[in-house]
Amino acid sequence: MKIRQENVSATKWDSNGSELGSADLREHSSHPFGANVFSPAVQQERLSSETYSKLQETLATGTTLDPALADEVAEAMMAWALEQGATHFTHVFQPLTGLTAEKHDSFFDPVGDGTALAKFRGKELVQGEPDASSFPTGGLRATFEARGYTAWDPTSPAFLLENPNGALLCIPTAFASWTGEALDAKIPLLRSMDALSRAAVRALKLLGDEQAQRVFTTVGPEQEYFLIDEQYFYSRPDLVTTGRTLFGAKPPKGHELDDHYFGSIPERVLSCMLDAEAELAKVGVPVKTRHNEVAPSQYEIAPVFENSNVGSDHQQLTMQILQSVARKYGLVCLLHEKPFAGVNGSGKHNNWSMSTDTGHNLMDPGATPAENVSFMFFCSAVIQAVNKHQGLLRASVANLGQDHRLGANEAPPAIISIFLGAELDRAFESITTEGKDATTEGSMMNLGTAVLPELPKHGGDRNRTSPFAFTGNKFEFRALGSSMSLSFPNTVLNTTVAEAIDDLSDQLEAKLSGDGSVNDAVAEVVAESYNANKQICFGGDNYDEEWHAEAERRGLKNLRTTPDALPEVIAPSTVQAFENYGVLNERELESRYEVWLEQYAVGANIEAETAREMARTMLLPAALRHLAMIEGAGVSSLSSEARALIDEFAEAIGKLEQANVYPDGIEGMELAEFARDSQLAAMADVREVADRLEKVVADDIWPLSKYSEILFIK
């Protein structure tokens, strides 16, 4: 194995330039924002004024688009796409795989004279009929019942994906069964946004705001990912098959020196980032931030805020484009939550807020939060929702990859809690404690030299260990995994906060029936809600074991693994909230529970089978060759050490092989728990011995590239 030659090769790369047909990214014209989006500007140019106005009204009010207008929209969309080089269109939807799906159809239909004519009608825009038989449904429908429908979502703009040989018109759609049940992530998210809007508008009217007609939830996700050289990726069956390394000893240097975080971005990586950002800009993804993350070869990209539906669609597109562009630079983008054991994993911080159609951010506390009755009311609703549905929020971020990351001193623990910060702590305590000062004095930070300006100091510090933290004018749900769709966590937030808003509105209405003022009534409602739910608020170190004990005393849930968490999806409180707000019925919730259990068990089995095969056919033979070399040299002390390790390794492999045989008749939760307790545990034992072997087997014999190469050669 000529590993060092691979390393030298991996360090060499050429800028893509004209070799790959890419434009010069230094030219502004190479990445005009929204150039490949069927945006309002394009719509206004190509649609009649009446159709354009009605389409914009639909988007603004959330009402249904008149089907009679669909033909004109479809014709304009097709003409625009053809001019950009598109030959096909697709309805892009989000089945319960967590990924996006698409079926491409040509614009061109043959005609009788042997030519083809471009056609795209309103009915093709509005509705598609993909074969739905092979998508996971969790028992919602029988496998032989193949009919499913995609339905155009006009609130998420259509866009073009370019290819060296053409372009594809992508139309964001929802996906439902023939019986009308949601088979995707988009439908419940849209329903939850409507539910929250109704509840929030009702509350705003009680608070004296008669202007707001609609409230939007917004997201700004921070996507973490790894970029590694493709030679290392394709030399590792575990990375190719599972997305993470199932073997790998800790390197002498990891991220202990904190020298990668916010460091200078390597030239090849920066070139890849610039290219990806240019592609994202074309399809309207408002990328704002990039930087090195904590682990070597780990990076982050983040957009500005968008409404939850469009932001979720754009996040799926971001992951897709990051992966496709990386290949142009000889790199592979890893989105797994924990691709390298012992090294920081990757998350996706979900910055969530609520804004009115009049431009008011309901999560903006202003200079004096305690006096901002609207903010205190809506913030109380969020605290109440998170406390009541803490288990569901944990379940919304549960998957196999997350079980390796959550609580590992790099991500929030599996215990859901809220960090408010010193300023909001003081504001809420002042309402619940008579006579307590509600204000936090603003201050300036003097840096000790006249050349540097004084800086305004925030009323409270941040808490990077909190899973749900208030960060100025939004809440940051930090527990999402890097490979996950935003849709279900935001569906949960929207639905549960809508429920809490309505509960507080009911209380406020009752108090307003008397003679008191709105401000006094809100103060009473906020005080009662905060006192009932403040056990969810914690401002300390979430990694500290003392907090785990304290959380248990407070009655907070600690759902450590995915099988522990998923039952919360079908808990009575979840079913009641989701059915009351028309987001998902009990049958639709049960389907998701079954799908996610199956995905966990199947994913664990794939990992366990891959680990068995690699250990048996790659690592064990390498260890035996190493032993033969030692014995041939007659070094008895090293021989006994190697032989003992190999015997231990062979025994561990045998136990893994036994664990990979499923007991008869188990399924669902039993199967998931078996995968966790038997397969993953046996796989961990095999890895532990293998990683010790990696440190003693001759380097030229060991068949896998090592962390010190994968993570540091860029």
Domain of 236, CATH number, reads 3.30.590.10
**Residue 117 three-state SS:** strand
75 assigned to some structural domain: yes
User: What is the CB-side half-sphere exposure of residue 615 using CA atoms within 13 A?
Assistant: 33
**Pair type for strands 116-118 and 215-229:** unpaired
- In CATH, what number is assigned to the domain containing residue 42? 3.10.20.70
Provide the pLDDT for residue 1: 47
CA distance 557 to 154: 40
Q: Specify whether 106 is located in the same domain as 83.
A: yes
Which of 184, 219, 237 represents a domain boundary (last residue)?
A: 184
| Domain-located, residue 698 | no
The reply to whether 659 falls in a domain is no
Give the start-end residues of each E strand in 335-462: 348-356, 418-419, 443-445, 455-457
Q: Are residues 237 and 317 in the same domain?
A: yes
Residues 159 and 204 in one domain: no
Shortest CA distance to 301 belongs to which of 324, 319, 284, 327? 319
Is 555 contained in some domain?
yes
Name the token pair of 687: 């890895």
Regarding whether 207 and 173 lie in a shared domain, the answer is no
- Structural domain ending residue among the three candidates 570, 597, 624: 597
394 and 353 in one domain? yes
Give the Cα separation of 483 and 603 in Å (integer): 14
d(CA 247, CA 230) in angstroms, rounded, equals 18
> Do residues 177 and 225 both lie within one domain?
no
Domain count, the chain: 2
Structure tokens at 490: 């935001």
| pLDDT mean values, one per 10 residues, the chain (714 residues) | 62 56 58 88 92 84 76 92 93 91 87 71 86 73 71 93 92 89 94 97 95 94 96 95 96 75 88 94 93 92 94 97 95 96 92 95 90 94 98 96 79 87 89 63 68 65 82 93 96 98 96 86 95 95 90 94 96 98 96 96 97 97 95 87 95 97 92 97 97 94 94 88
State which residues form the domain around 349. 192-442+457-597
The reply to whether 164 and 245 lie within a common domain is: no
292: its two tokens: 């090195």
Do 418 and 388 meet the contact criterion of CB atoms below 8 Å apart?
no
CB 376 within 8 A of CB 370: yes
| Domain end position, chosen among 597, 622, 643 | 597
* Shared-domain flag, residues 212 and 160: no
- 162 and 209, same structural domain? no
> How far from 548 is each of 96, 202, 394, 553, CA to CA, in Å?
33, 38, 15, 9
- Output the pLDDT for position 410: 67
Give dist(CA 361, CA 216) in Å, integer. 10
Strands (DSSP E) contained in 240-360 are 287-292, 298-303, 306-307, 331-334, 348-356
